[in-house]
Amino acid sequence: MSSELLHPDRLFPADPVIRHVAREIYEDIRELPIISPHGHIEARWFAENQPFENPSALFISPDHYVFRMLYSQGTSMESLGVPPASLEVSIEHDPREVWRRFASQYRRLFRGTPSRLWIDHALSEVFGIQQPLTADNADEIYDQINISLHSPEFLPRNLFEQFNIEVLATTESAIDELKHHRTLNNSDWDGRIITTWRPDSVTNPQHPAFVHDMRWLGEITRKDTHDWREYIAALRIRRQIFSDMGATATDHGFPTPFTTVLQPDFCQELLTKALTGKISSEEAELFRGHMLTEMAQMSVEDGLVMQLHTGSHRDHNALVFSRFGLDKGCDIPTGVNFVEGLKPLLNQVGNSPDLTLIVFTLDESTYSRELAPLAGHYPALKLGPPWWFHDSPEGMLRYRQQITETAGFYNTVGFNDDTRAFLSIPARHDVARRMDSRFLATLVCEHRLTLEEAHETAHDLTYRLPKAAYKL
């Protein structure tokens, strides 16, 4: 399906020679199944398989890319219906009003952004909308989407199948009961949705839920999480449960990539301080740093792929955080040092063929300086795709241009959509496929790669590598 909104050659370079080759490479991979090994889709949607609520609840209020841009230009988050964290915040409850506010600014503010690509793709490919969304047609398009949402073919499971998703990984807290995954595993629907074990709230003493979640971790594993050895045992138990439910990976989101190796006695000391809220920032960093090495060691043992997302300064805006809580668009990247940071961990387990450690960065200056040389050396280390703000056409080009010459293609792992926005999944994978095709086509036209090799590499990047790296 195509439309006025989506040119079939979008994102390909204007040069007719490269465009021709890019198109040929892309045509060969465009229909491949989607492998989505990391993201934040809710398993509940597929377990319950109920209609999505309304266009605004789908496109606006949960999408931090969308409301942060509108907020930066003076539209309040209240008026966009963003769910508040505080009872004192009152928000717009009419989704149609929210939609109108968005529509009136959409085409202008989002020019040149990936959000525009994703939203236009969803409007066109999922809902069959042919005209650009503006203030004038906001109501009409709202109605059209709304009607669709309540038809059976737009139920979550049907969309999952229509999107040709072969496997989708969600992300759950280490102590999540995995109720929805259990429902899915016991259902007769054969869509493959697996969980990912994310233990930040029980490995980062500065996580707001640390004390609460540590207590709960102890209860559900029947271990005394005040005791270092039992705490470690409790984590192993939870990993096993996730693994048994289908998880193939863990994920760790910490401020920095600092790692270290500490003695058990000192770990016990830090744990005690952490649980009594008496841990300093420096000690918390030490604890986190040791826990990463500990997690890597467990991955060597149980085979779960380890993902590491670092370098985001969370909740930079105290006012917005106090009113709307976590993940509300005021997370800002910071500089990181992988060379020093990962050294203790890599020296402990980086030479192990039994570990797959996938690292992501928001600091593009580390691509050619740190990450490509590290991944081009350590057997355990692989580079995750361009992440978050860099999950964009220019970001993808920079990634390949700055990484490939040192790390090659085969120390990367294909694409992650890493999204909460289910409808954007096909769009995001399509952008990645187009940009990889474009990059490969340029190499072909500059006689740095044969066309045959480009085809094989495109197939690898799209399908084989993510399946292999994530053991799917």
Q: Which of 61, 204, 221, 402 is close enough to bind a copy of itself by CB under 8 A?
A: 402
Q: Which lies closer to a copy of itself via its Cβ, residue 58 or residue 109?
A: 109
Q: Which of 137, 148, 183, 404 is close enough to bind a copy of itself by CB under 8 A?
A: 404
Phi, psi (degrees; rounded to nearest 5) at 151: -95, 150
- 190-198, 263-271, 302-310, 400-408 -> range binding a copy of itself (CB under 8 A): 400-408
Nearest distance from C-beta of residue 407 to a copy of itself, angstroms? 8
Chain residues 427-466 in contact with a copy of itself, contact rule CB under 8 A = 442-443, 445-449, 453, 457
Token representation of residue 398: 């920079």
Nearest distance from C-beta of residue 422 to a copy of itself, angstroms? 22
137 contacts: CB under 8 Å, gap ≥ 6: 103, 131
Write the interaction track for a copy of itself spanning residues 285-324; mark x where CB under 8 A is met and - where it is not.
----------------------------x--xxxxx----
Residue 205 within binding range of a copy of itself, rule CB under 8 A = no
Nearest distance from C-beta of residue 379 to a copy of itself, angstroms? 5
Calpha distance 201→336 (Å, rounded): 22
Chain residues 96-115 in contact with a copy of itself, contact rule CB under 8 A = 107-114
Q: Which lies closer to a copy of itself via its Cβ, residue 194 or residue 465?
A: 465
Chain residues 47-76 in contact with a copy of itself, contact rule CB under 8 A = 68-69, 71-74
Strand bridging mode 332-333 / 312-313: antiparallel
Residue 363 within binding range of a copy of itself, rule CB under 8 A = yes
Nearest distance from C-beta of residue 371 to a copy of itself, angstroms? 10
Chain residues 155-194 in contact with a copy of itself, contact rule CB under 8 A = none
Nearest distance from C-beta of residue 412 to a copy of itself, angstroms? 11
Q: Which of 393, 414, 426, 466 is close enough to bind a copy of itself by CB under 8 A?
A: 393
Burial letters for 92-120: b for 16+ Cβ neighbours within 10 Å, e otherwise? Answer: beebbebbebbbbbbeebbeeebbbbbbb
Q: Which of 204, 392, 424, 437 is close enough to bind a copy of itself by CB under 8 A?
A: 392
Q: Which lies closer to a copy of itself via its Cβ, residue 279 or residue 465?
A: 465
Residue 407 within binding range of a copy of itself, rule CB under 8 A = yes
Q: Which lies closer to a copy of itself via its Cβ, residue 94 or residue 405?
A: 405
Q: Which lies closer to a copy of itself via its Cβ, residue 393 or residue 414?
A: 393
Q: Which of 339, 451, 468, 472 is close enough to bind a copy of itself by CB under 8 A?
A: 339
Residue 373 within binding range of a copy of itself, rule CB under 8 A = yes
Residue 381 within binding range of a copy of itself, rule CB under 8 A = yes
Residue 15 within binding range of a copy of itself, rule CB under 8 A = yes
Kindly give the residue spans of alpha helices, DSSP state H, lying in 369-448.
372-375, 393-407, 425-445
Q: Which lies closer to a copy of itself via its Cβ, residue 117 or residue 300?
A: 117
DSSP for residue 136 = T
Nearest distance from C-beta of residue 140 to a copy of itself, angstroms? 20
Torsion of the alpha carbons at 444, 449, 454 and 456, rounded to the nearest 10? 170
Residue 268 within binding range of a copy of itself, rule CB under 8 A = no
- 145-153, 184-192, 209-217, 337-345 -> range binding a copy of itself (CB under 8 A): 337-345
Residue 1 within binding range of a copy of itself, rule CB under 8 A = no
Q: Which lies closer to a copy of itself via its Cβ, residue 251 or residue 315?
A: 315
Q: Which of 350, 384, 385, 426 is close enough to bind a copy of itself by CB under 8 A?
A: 350
Q: Which of 26, 127, 228, 409 is close enough to bind a copy of itself by CB under 8 A?
A: 409
Residue 408 within binding range of a copy of itself, rule CB under 8 A = yes
Residue 385 within binding range of a copy of itself, rule CB under 8 A = no
Q: Which of 3, 9, 183, 191 is close enough to bind a copy of itself by CB under 8 A?
A: 9
